[in-house]
Structure 1
């Protein structure tokens, strides 16, 4: 019914035995939306409970989050990555700030020129005296993490007309810097890599960012998962990555491609807008897994965000002969 709020907890099947549940969710800073996609009053959006309930219901082992707030008044002043990690029982997590700034009511940011563009936060920094509000992405894991990486992606130098949650028509929106997080995890069958991304909404610029991420993670172990809001529809991310791999393999002196290294989509289902999904911006792509590795996938409706989460249950066994990893930066808690 128009004006009502969706169910607080999504309906998600149980994780099949022997599978790792991997998910991505653009949480829109935990904002609760009405059944028809409109935003309610601000008083309904504050506080961590809706975010925690939505995350807990996914029952994910590995979860990438986008549009995450840290210490923002609009989301109750909480560390949303820490809230989500506690809700899903993830002992290993990182939050990476894309920008240090305070969100303004109605849109826009007041940036803090003294704060660095990229900073990582984790369990040990939960009670950090750093009180600068920020916005970014998070990668959360129930599985042990061997190493972490983070990097920043520059913003596109132009504004693009976009449809925003709770606003009629189109609004000219300037791009923001983006962050990327990568982790080498200890899976049931050995190490694998998970990479959390949130790419630009500017056409073409997001493709360049995706290719930059591909080069940045080339030395990390397979299987490798790319999870996030790509702002690229349908098969475009997979096709882009595989085309780049074909070009690389034809360069003089390049090593031949390895069986199982092609990028696969673990799910093809629309995720945006959440109240009536029409397109798929959110993806869980995998390289180094077999064709039968996906046991199931879904995109359930939650009470928060204009995106639906994308959930995939995977068998993360190595697809030989995939390359071992070069070491990443060791984790420090």
Structure 2
């Protein structure tokens, strides 16, 4: 059994009071977010939109910050950050695809944190969409629509030595361009064929649940919508299972994020 959750941390940015989405650089609330995550009493946490040593978040190692909160003074957690891009995402002057995770390189990506030991880590990178696309949060005003360029994406896998036996856990954050997110998910499934089962996929897939389960062939864990957090209307954050089952699933608000977290208890 594993108590798991997936959550988009928005790099520690607090939502704008007016619209509910994280857009105000300089308003950082990762400590509060990590405190809320620790209160869930998890065995494993997958996090998307993680900053690593970036100037905009005070050069902090956000994965280490969350790991410290989850440990709560007890045994250290096993944690790994995987870089999707080096530099600040959305900044044309600094952002570039990350061919690998480099510990001292300011980067942006995803993280996995486990209470139990991890036997093996693996990373898989996925090319971005070649087109720029307008992005609009359902709670934004018309003036808040922005046109943005996509970035490279990354998946991080961990073979967790859980008390009930080993389990593979994968997290990712797919493209906001729907057709590219679908192609990335199909590529991830092909890459994951070599990973041992049972397997759990956790992440912000930027796809509806029915599409995600159809493209993977894996079982989706049913929950409500997750985005935007204040008035959720879309379910972008998912738990998908191959070779295991889930119970006690639901969503929860974590401070400073514009997505609800999804949590579940997984058995195999």
Q: Which has the larger radius of gyration?
A: 1
Change (3 A) 1:231 1:53: same
Asked if 1:118 is matched to 2:99, the reply is yes
Find the residue that maps to 2:15 and give its secondary structure. Answer: coil
Aligned residue among 68, 75, 78 for 1:92:
78
2:209–2:220 contact (8 Å) kept in structure 1? no
Task: Supply the distance in 1 between the matched residues of 2:43 and 2:94 (Cα, whole angstroms).
Answer: 34
Change (3 A) 1:120 1:305: same
2:3–2:266 contact (8 Å) kept in structure 1? yes
Change (3 A) 1:144 1:159: same
Change (3 A) 1:73 1:117: same
Change (3 A) 1:80 1:240: same
Find the residue that maps to 1:140 and give its secondary structure. Answer: strand
RMSD: 2.2
Task: Supply the distance in 1 between the matched residues of 2:138 and 2:34 (Cα, whole angstroms).
Answer: 21
TM-score (norm 1): 0.73
1:46–1:74 contact (8 Å) kept in structure 2? no
Instruction: Note the residue ranges of structure 1 that are not aligned, 5 or more in a row.
Output: 1-18, 243-262, 318-333
Alignment partner, residue 126 of structure 2: 153
Residues 207-222 of structure 1 mapped to structure 2, 5 A cutoff: 207-222=182-197
Residues 1-333 of structure 1 mapped to structure 2, 5 A cutoff: 19-34=1-16, 36=18, 37=20, 42-43=25-26, 45-46=27-28, 48-89=30-71, 91-102=77-88, 108-111=91-94, 117-120=98-101, 130=104, 132-163=105-136, 168-169=141-142, 170-242=145-217, 263-289=218-244, 293-315=245-267, 317=268
Change (3 A) 1:287 1:109: same
How many equivalent residue pairs?
Answer: 261
Task: Supply the distance in 2 between the matched residues of 1:167 and 1:133 (Cα, whole angstroms).
Answer: 30
TM-score (norm 2): 0.89
**Cα deviation code 1:149-201 (max 9, x no counterpart):** 01211111001110259964321111100111011111222111000111111
**Cα deviation code 1:231-287 (max 9, x no counterpart):** 001221011112xxxxxxxxxxxxxxxxxxxx1112231000000011100001001
2:197–2:243 contact (8 Å) kept in structure 1? yes
Find the residue that maps to 1:239 and give its secondary structure. Answer: helix
